[in-house]
Amino acid sequence: MFCSSCGTPVPEQMNFCPKCGQALKPVVSMVQRDEVDPALVWVFWALLGTLGVHRFYLGHIGWGVLYLLTGAFCGIGWFIDLFCISGWIRERNSPTYQP
């Protein structure tokens, strides 16, 4: 954490900056982050994958529309997603995910 007044690095447990004495305010995230359910992603992929439902659920809206219009490129994209979904789920559920 850094002091917002002077920019000095400050340990997390401190309430005041040791250099300038400025009171430190806790950082509160304003972004609501929803995790995806891995089992639901796999069910969407298995049952509705050629319609792109799993892509919509993961937040890949553009790809979802493309899958919906092309039948997941006649099933080829659906098969390729089998090997990619685990990584997408890990990425989407990581604490550092930025939409």
**Residue linked to tokens 């919906």:** 68
Is the pTM for the entire model greater than 0.85? no
Summarize the confidence of residues 78-89 as an average pLDDT. Answer: 96
Distance CA 83, CA 14 (A): 45
What integer pLDDT is reported at residue 21 of this predicted model? 84
Whether the CA torsion 80, 75, 42, 46 is positive or negative: it is negative
Summarize the confidence of residues 57-85 as an average pLDDT. Answer: 96
The DSSP line for 19-60 is TT-PBPPPP------PPP-HHHHHHHHHHHGGGTHHHHHHT-
What integer pLDDT is reported at residue 5 of this predicted model? 76
Of the candidates 44, 4, 46, the residue with the CA atom closest to the CA atom of residue 24: 4
The predicted-structure confidence for 5-61, as pLDDT tens digits, reads as follows 787 888 878 888 888 888 877 655 555 668 999 999 999 999 999 999 999 999 999
